[in-house]
């Protein structure tokens, strides 16, 4: 831990949203336990920002370091080293399957399709309901598919320092291939590993990739069989636009260490909120993690996070179940994330004709009523990464009590720091790999 609990608690108290404050009213919890819970929640809340800008824990560390340094500012922002080339006009650079209609045409056509198909969730009552007697045709057209032997075509391999201070060296495509950090396995699945060399003196090698294609509006599907897990790991599948946070960020799959419940989070510029932190009012199966203001600058970059409630959504539970499909829909009515475990994938997805309006309650939903999805988000590229330690995984190393991490990593592996564990126990990272069936982007 870089911080003791007390300053963290003090900071969290100072910034607690009402739902956090309520925790303190519960006489049944000791202060220490409450502090720990708040620490977790704050960690989760702030970790999503960790992406390009990834100054995770930002507010807490930032405030803390301001205090420690007497106000001399430290630069955290490692902005957009992987911003998609020419992202602002949305045409991507990968040629053959690029968006046909230029900058904002895809969003407009998506919206037109959604309303003309009558399947929009909040469409008027005059809209036809999906037919049960004839196969429904999907309003979505496949724009990009990453799968099989050509999976890695159309992704840039990011080779900068990890902006979230993980102890990884992100390698280029050639190195990843020759070091067996990427491969297409015999099932035709794309593998992205971290180096399992027993001991390293500095950083462990890993992979972070970004689509050269970018999209404004759309439906992104990830079918993964396995995801990185275990103490020290911090994997994510997410997307962001240019000029963070102006282009917005959508975290679809994310967590750390042995966590079992996925967290999805958005980060935006000023003006985007969610109308409630009540799951039933939002119409989600997940739980709102923190506050309702999604603006990075006003919330110490907390964003609006929502966690799943099932342990098959992330980590060991996900892997033991053969994974499943994550879907992120970005349309006029808002942004939604669903998860379908392996044996419950809707047939329309398998049939390559997705019908999100038939999928039922999403895990997470950020309604357009309080956050215009085409104002706060644009020109996103999808990203996979696995980092080790760093601002989230490293800083909750000693914490216990999160779902899946009931015991702290320090206690579980018997090593007092994340960095020591990562550098000296390469074999422990045999499970720190993505195995991806496909990523599909529909518009």
Name the residues annotated as catalytic.
Answer: 249, 254
CB of 388 to ligand NAG, least distance (A): 17
Give the nearer residue to ligand NAG in terms of CB position, either 224 or 306: 224
What gap in Å lies between CA 389 and CA 234, rounded to an integer?
7
Under rule CB under 6 A, residue 89 binds ligand NAG: yes
What gap in Å lies between CA 332 and CA 312, rounded to an integer?
30
Under rule CB under 6 A, residue 13 binds ligand NAG: no
- Choose the binding region for ligand NAG from 4-12, 61-69, 85-93, 310-318 (rule: CB under 6 A): 85-93
Give the pair of three-digit tokens for residue 391.
């601002």
CB of 232 to ligand NAG, least distance (A): 17
Instruction: Report the C-alpha dihedral over residues 417, 423, 424, 430, rounded to 10 degrees.
Output: 110
Contacts 24+ apart (CB under 8 A), 89-96: 89/379, 90/214, 90/215, 90/216, 90/378, 90/379, 91/214, 92/211, 92/212, 92/213, 92/214, 93/212, 93/213, 94/144, 94/153, 94/154, 94/211, 94/212, 94/213
- Collapse the DSSP code of 353 into the 3-class scheme (helix H, G, I; strand E, B; otherwise coil) and give the result: coil
- Choose the binding region for ligand NAG from 86-94, 169-177, 206-214, 291-299 (rule: CB under 6 A): 86-94
Give the nearer residue to ligand NAG in terms of CB position, either 84 or 286: 84
Under rule CB under 6 A, residue 86 binds ligand NAG: yes
What gap in Å lies between CA 19 and CA 278, rounded to an integer?
11
Under rule CB under 6 A, residue 198 binds ligand NAG: no
Under rule CB under 6 A, residue 91 binds ligand NAG: yes
What x/- string results for residues 164 through 183 when contact with ligand NAG is judged by CB under 6 A? ----------------x---
**For the purposes of burial, counting CB atoms within 10 Å of the CB of 135, is it exposed (0-12), middle (13-18) or buried (19 or more)?**
exposed
Near ligand NAG by CB under 6 A: residue from 374, 400, 404, 438: 374
CB of 19 to ligand NAG, least distance (A): 32
Under rule CB under 6 A, residue 359 binds ligand NAG: no
- Choose the binding region for ligand NAG from 3-11, 30-38, 84-92, 231-239 (rule: CB under 6 A): 84-92
Under rule CB under 6 A, residue 107 binds ligand NAG: yes
Q: Of 216-255, which residues contact ligand NAG (CB under 6 A)?
A: none
CB of 217 to ligand NAG, least distance (A): 7
Q: At residue 105, what are phi and psi to the nearest 5 degrees?
A: -65, -35
Under rule CB under 6 A, residue 190 binds ligand NAG: no
All residues at 6 or more sequence positions from 183 whose CB lies less than 8 Å from its CB, including other chains: 177, 190, 191
What gap in Å lies between CA 185 and CA 163, rounded to an integer?
30
- Choose the binding region for ligand NAG from 107-115, 129-137, 239-247, 283-291 (rule: CB under 6 A): 107-115
Q: How many residues bind ligand NAG (CB under 6 A)?
A: 10
What gap in Å lies between CA 327 and CA 49, rounded to an integer?
20
| Best CA proximity match to 44, nearest among 236, 223, 321, 193 | 236
Interface residues with ligand NAG (CB under 6 A) are 86, 89, 91, 102, 104, 107-108, 111, 180, 374
């Amino acid at each position: 831990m870089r911080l003791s609990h007390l300053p963290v608690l003090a900071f969290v108290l100072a910034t607690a949203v009402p739902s956090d404050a309520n925790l303190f009213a519960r006489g049944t919890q000791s202060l220490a336990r409450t502090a720990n819970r708040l620490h977790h929640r704050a960690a989760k809340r702030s970790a999503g920002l960790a992406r390009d800008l990834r100054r995770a824990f930002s507010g807490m560390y930032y405030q803390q370091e301001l205090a420690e340094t007497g106000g001399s500012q430290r630069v955290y922002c490692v902005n957009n080293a992987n911003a998609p080339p020419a992202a602002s006009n949305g045409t991507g650079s990968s040629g053959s399957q690029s968006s046909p209609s230029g900058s904002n045409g895809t969003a407009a056509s998506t919206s037109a399709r959604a309303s003309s198909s009558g399947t929009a969730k909040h469409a008027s009552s005059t809209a036809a309901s999906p037919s049960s007697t004839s196969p429904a045709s999907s309003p979505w057209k496949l724009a990009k598919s990453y799968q099989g032997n050509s999976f890695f075509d159309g992704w840039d391999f990011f080779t900068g320092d990890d902006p979230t201070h993980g102890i990884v060296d992100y390698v280029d495509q050639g190195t990843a291939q020759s070091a067996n950090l990427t491969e297409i396995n015999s099932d035709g699945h794309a593998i992205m590993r971290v180096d399992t060399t027993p001991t390293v003196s500095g950083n462990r090698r890993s992979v972070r990739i970004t689509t050269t294609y970018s999209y404004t509006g759309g439906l992104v599907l990830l079918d993964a069989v396995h995801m990185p897990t275990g103490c020290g790991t911090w994997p994510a599948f997410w997307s962001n636009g240019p000029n963070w946070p102006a282009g917005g960020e959508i975290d679809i799959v994310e967590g750390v260490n042995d966590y079992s419940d996925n967290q999805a989070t958005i980060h935006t510029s000023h003006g985007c909120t969610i109308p409630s932190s009540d799951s039933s009012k939002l119409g989600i199966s997940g739980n709102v993690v923190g506050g309702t203001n999604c603006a990075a600058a006003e919330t110490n970059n907390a964003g609006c996070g929502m966690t799943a409630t099932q342990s098959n959504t992330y980590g060991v539970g996900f892997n033991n179940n053969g994974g499943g499909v994550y879907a992120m829909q970005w349309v006029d009515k808002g942004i939604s994330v669903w998860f379908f475990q392996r044996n419950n994938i809707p047939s329309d997805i398998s049939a390559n004709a997705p019908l999100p309006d038939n999928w039922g309650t999403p895990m997470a939903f950020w309604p357009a009523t309080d956050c215009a999805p085409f104002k706060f988000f644009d020109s996103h590229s999808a990203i996979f990464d696995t980092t080790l330690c760093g601002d989230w995984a490293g800083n909750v190393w000693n914490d216990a009590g999160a779902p899946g991490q009931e015991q702290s990593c320090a206690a579980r592996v018997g090593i007092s720091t994340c960095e020591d564990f990562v550098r000296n126990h390469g074999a422990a990272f045999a499970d720190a790999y993505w195995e991806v069936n496909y990523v599909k982007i529909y518009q």
